[in-house]
Structure 1
Amino acid sequence: MLGAVGAAVLLGGEACGRPSQPTLPADPHYPGDPTGPAPTTAPAPGSGRPVTVAENARPGAAGFRLTGHRFSTDERGEIAGYAHATSVAPGEQLAFRVSVARPQRYQITIFRVGHYAGSGARAVVVSPWLDGIRQAAPDVDPDTGAVSCAWRTGWRLTVTPDLVSGLYLALLASASGQHQWIPFVVRDPAQRAAALMVLPTSTWQAYNGWPMDGRTGANLYHGYDAAGRWTTARRARAVSHDRPYSGNGIPQLAAHDIGFVQWVEGQGLDVTYATSEDLHTGRVDPARYRAVVFPGHDEYWSAPMRQAVAMARNGGTSLVFLAANNCYWRVEYGTGDRLVRCAKSSVPASGPTPATTKWRSAGHPEQQLIGAQYVSIVDGYAPLMVRAGDHWFWAGTGVRDGDLIPEVVWGEADQRTPGVPQPDAVERTLLADSPYSRQGATHRQHTHLYRASSGAWVFIAGSLGWTRVLADPAAADPRLARATLNLLQRVMR
């Protein structure tokens, strides 16, 4: 899985070296991050045993694993599918749209991801055996290159009250033994949890190249030319959620998100879940929570997403970013919330189209919200170098300034960048200042924490490797785990 994840990082490497400074005038369509208090403030967490804690006391699925199944391939399409929405609420139905290369029966097993005493997931629903058909080939929009499917629904999951908010994985299994995953989220806006976990579904889709068959597939980075080459010249200018994810169905980098969900639910914390599209549409209100946690690489943000998050911070809701390169591309949505538009070039377009601006280029650098921002890709691995070792963040870890935590700096890195506006803050702390290499040059990675005048904490890990070191037994470090738990307990109380 790390090999696939590494490939995803390289696909995203378009802004190597130091980031460009904002040079364009402010965007007239985005007035800027709100600076006044939010209209509502985060309520106290509900009393009693948290719903997620009670859920994790239930028996897990013996032998659950993401890999090791016999998976379908994009080229042959033995079995593939997608859900009609990135999230669904109690009382609603989620439609699964599935295609098989040759007519045969298939079954869907639904797992909820969590800790479950180390099992990693619980099997919650198994569909009956269903009659599969070969569905129509995907459509490719001639203007944007967006690949989308209009498949018929094969089965509907009714979200009953016992399906607790969380990250879910549906495992498709054909009668001939081929498999593919479909991820989705159950959200519950009525759940009075301490923290909202937002899964980066817009970024998952940005990297999705389905179908990677040498002819049709495209994402926001690459597409196939007439010779079957995977090239940036044929990248799409929009991507659709109405299609499967490539390969085994787990989005690129999502294995880290899954690992973090398993880890955080093992800490007994009170959390609930949503997706990028839930923030965009207002289906969830981040200001209702003590904290909003962004566990994954969350690169693609719409204006309503940023507005909602900034307003929540101004009302006292803390923000925790556990990766790097967040809120980088400014996107728009179409077809409800099923199409993510981000035109990095005019190809393949029928006419000239202005390229999508990055948030920083439009006069609203991500550092102004988060406290640090993307610098570059990281070559290989580098250790996290501790700063402010006497800060409460590092309490109980035993670290001192200059101590090294191996392999945390990986993939992409953020930095508190000189010359870029900082958010208003009553205090700021640099928690790590780590040298790393990129194309023979040395750069600095920063882990940063600030406190807004509202009392909200805003944390940026500044590396894509942070959650891997929390969740991967081969890399796990108890010092980083304790520090992250210190942070989450502080912002959720």
Structure 2
Amino acid sequence: MRRALALLPLLIGALVAGSAPAAVGPPRLLGLSISNGGHPFLGDTRQLATVSPNGDGLRDRALVRFHLDRAASVELQVVATSSFGRPPTVVWRVRRSLAPGPRALTWKPKRATPDRTYLLRFVVKGKSGSRVYGFERPRPGLPTSGLVVRILGVDVAFQQRGYPVGGQASASIATDARSVRVQFFGYRGSGSPGELDAKTGASAMTPAVTLDWRGHRAAPHVVDFGPSESWPSGLYFLRVTTSDRRVGYAPVVLLARRPSEHRVGVVLPTNTWQADNLRDANGDGWGDSWNADNSLQAVDLRRAYLDSGLPDRFRSGSGAVIAWLNRTGKQVDYLSDDDLAAVSSGDALRRLYDLVVFPGSEEYAGRHAYGVVRRFRDLGGRLMFLSAANFHWRAERKGSTLRRVRPWRQLGKPEAALVGVQVTATRRGGGKAYVVQGAGAEPWVFAGTGFADGSTFGRFGTEIDATTRQSPPGTVVLARIQRAIGRRSAEMTYYRTAAGAQVFAAGTLDFASALGLPAVAALVENVWARLA
């Protein structure tokens, strides 16, 4: 213990910048600060600078200043952090041999540098050893000992996740371009006219409108929009394109003109989208997501998404289901998680809908929403889960933040009792085929697919679900991936209740990515026809 205590002052000295020089030990960087050359964006500090490498001369560089107490080799590393299980990436580095005194280093990012935050890590080496600043894991309430650069592209975020059709929708836009073009895109039926957006797969709903942005180049600005009353309920994207060709998107759910306009409700996983969003709002260089920082107390529901504004895995998840719904002419009401939570009771939800579909991972649900869906099921309502890890965490909204509480199974409400399965393992990449084993028990599921017991299809396994002892009696395993992740198997299931409820669960996070396969699309069509 005495040996550990003796090392503590050295560890503290290695992390704290700005303290007085020591007579012994490695060289120090004192007074570390950063700027973009005199054009701060809202939120910039001496530890955080916003840079937009578009070549206009406004915010094209990050300028690091410090005082070196002794001659040393100083290496500056620009680091992109990621989620758990993925190593950080050094995107740029420079090493200089410097004399003592006031010094500066400059990073001029390339135009194609992804817009996000980057941690700056400094490795200082001298005759008496080396010292490192920056790149700690997230520390609640404590800043990094290094510096952070925020690359600004176009950050776009609606102030709410859902708005009524024909109502006013407000979006925050942050960019330092001189002008922007705004345009709405949506998912319409197969063969609909209009420009197709390559990134979202959505079609143009409006012409592009140009806005003068010269008065908003140093802070976000909110713009009000009025989506047409003629648009159907659905998911839409606002696309913002700057005069220097940067592009950002923001998703928004437009609600039906009146509740229960159709007897099928589709709940988009807007809580999970933000919980998985690695956008760094607090400026510490790490994504504000429980996938990157388990100590995080809450996530901000109003953040713009990374990847130019698309939720994580959107095209292969919820987006694939939305495309299938439109391609097959399904008439549904779309809801966000906020809209589901606003339904007063399970009885009210049952009066509104016969079937509720969850196209993506409905991982985070509050106590009220969980109770509403369970009561809906108990009253004979049908449920369709086309992803995995559904109703895994209890998470409560407070204002504009979502706070994670505990897994539902630890609160005496295992999700398998509702969904039929619950998440058992997580892994990115890879995947194995489902093997059919329920064709004899539920032949209608596989009608017209060409599948029989023993048939295989797809490659899945990013996150997987399986039955437990808490699964409802009579739950049928339709297909299984043996040892999908390690020794864990994935299971696709179906169960019915005496009250008339029917519940289908796909069992894998990436199931929707196979909807382009005719046999898989036929399977989902069979389930839809029975449940709807």
- TM-score w.r.t. structure 1 length? 0.71
Deviation at 1:214, TM superposition (A): 7.4
Name the amino acid aligned to 1:163.
W
Q: Distance in 1 between matches of 2:344 and 2:83?
A: 29
1:396 aligns with 2:448: yes
Q: Pick from 206, 218, 233: which aligns with 1:125?
A: 206
Q: Distance in 2 between matches of 1:211 and 1:488?
A: 39
Equivalent position of 2:185 in the other structure: 111
Q: Pick from 484, 492, 497: which aligns with 1:447?
A: 492
For structure 1, the 5+ residue unaligned runs are 1-6, 12-69, 137-150, 224-231, 343-355, 471-475
Equivalent position of 1:270 in the other structure: 331
After superposition, the C-alpha distances for 1:408-462 in whole angstroms (9 at most, x for unaligned) are x220110002xx3233x5x432101221343xx3221111100122212111100
1:203 aligns with 2:264: no
Partner of 1:413: helix, strand, or coil? Answer: strand
Equivalent position of 1:433 in the other structure: 480
1:236 aligns with 2:296: yes
Name the amino acid aligned to 2:324.
W
Q: Distance in 2 between matches of 1:412 and 1:241?
A: 23
8 Å Cα contact 1:397/1:482 also seen in 2: yes
8 Å Cα contact 1:72/1:179 also seen in 2: no
Deviation at 1:249, TM superposition (A): 0.7
Q: Distance in 1 between matches of 2:450 and 2:280?
A: 48
Q: 1:373 to 1:72 in 2, by over 3 A?
A: same
Deviation at 1:103, TM superposition (A): 4.7
Please give the residue correspondences for 1:115-194 in structure 2 after superposition, counting only pairs within 5 Å: 115-117=189-191, 120-126=201-207, 128-132=209-213, 133-136=216-219, 151-153=220-222, 155-188=223-256, 189-194=258-263
Deviation at 1:122, TM superposition (A): 2.6
1:382 aligns with 2:432: yes
Q: Distance in 2 between matches of 1:84 and 1:283?
A: 23
Q: What do you get for the CA RMSD once the two structures are aligned?
A: 2.5
Equivalent position of 1:254 in the other structure: 314
8 Å Cα contact 2:484/2:490 also seen in 1: no
Name the amino acid aligned to 2:455.
D
Q: Distance in 1 between matches of 2:505 and 2:181?
A: 41
1:79 aligns with 2:162: no
Partner of 2:437: helix, strand, or coil? Answer: coil
Q: Distance in 1 between matches of 2:190 and 2:179?
A: 31
Equivalent position of 1:334 in the other structure: 398
Rg larger in structure: 2
Q: 1:124 to 1:191 in 2, by over 3 A?
A: farther
Q: Distance in 2 between matches of 1:306 and 1:213?
A: 30
Q: Pick from 413, 438, 461: which aligns with 2:464?
A: 413
Q: Distance in 2 between matches of 1:313 and 1:175?
A: 51
Deviation at 1:298, TM superposition (A): 1.5
Q: 1:9 to 1:192 in 2, by over 3 A?
A: farther
Q: Distance in 2 between matches of 1:421 and 1:213?
A: 40
Partner of 1:392: helix, strand, or coil? Answer: helix
Say which structure, 1 or 2, has more relative contact order (CA 8 Å, 6+ apart). Answer: 1
Q: 1:92 to 1:72 in 2, by over 3 A?
A: farther
Partner of 2:375: helix, strand, or coil? Answer: helix
Please give the residue correspondences for 1:212-361 in structure 2 after superposition, counting only pairs within 5 Å: 215-221=284-290, 232=293, 235-255=295-315, 256-282=317-343, 286-287=349-350, 288-335=352-399, 338-342=400-404, 356-361=405-410
1:90 aligns with 2:175: no
After superposition, the C-alpha distances for 1:29-53 in whole angstroms (9 at most, x for unaligned) are xxxxxxxxxxxxxxxxxxxxxxxxx
8 Å Cα contact 1:324/1:464 also seen in 2: yes
8 Å Cα contact 2:426/2:464 also seen in 1: yes
Please give the residue correspondences for 1:482-493 in structure 2 after superposition, counting only pairs within 5 Å: 482-492=522-532
Deviation at 1:94, TM superposition (A): 0.6
8 Å Cα contact 2:183/2:238 also seen in 1: yes
Name the amino acid aligned to 1:169.
F
Q: 1:193 to 1:463 in 2, by over 3 A?
A: same
Deviation at 1:115, TM superposition (A): 4.2
Deviation at 1:8, TM superposition (A): 7.2
Equivalent position of 2:521 in the other structure: 481
- More strand as a share of residues: 2
1:372 aligns with 2:421: yes
Q: 1:487 to 1:182 in 2, by over 3 A?
A: same
Q: 1:444 to 1:298 in 2, by over 3 A?
A: same
Q: Distance in 2 between matches of 1:277 and 1:164?
A: 19
8 Å Cα contact 2:83/2:287 also seen in 1: no
8 Å Cα contact 1:9/1:411 also seen in 2: no
After superposition, the C-alpha distances for 1:100-132 in whole angstroms (9 at most, x for unaligned) are 1x3511121101124432864331134632233
8 Å Cα contact 2:280/2:288 also seen in 1: no
Partner of 1:116: helix, strand, or coil? Answer: coil
Q: Distance in 1 between matches of 2:373 and 2:227?
A: 27
8 Å Cα contact 1:105/1:174 also seen in 2: yes
Deviation at 1:272, TM superposition (A): 1.6
Deviation at 1:465, TM superposition (A): 2.0
Q: Distance in 1 between matches of 2:419 and 2:531?
A: 15
Deviation at 1:152, TM superposition (A): 3.7
Deviation at 1:322, TM superposition (A): 0.5
Q: Distance in 2 between matches of 1:260 and 1:283?
A: 27
- TM-score w.r.t. structure 2 length? 0.66
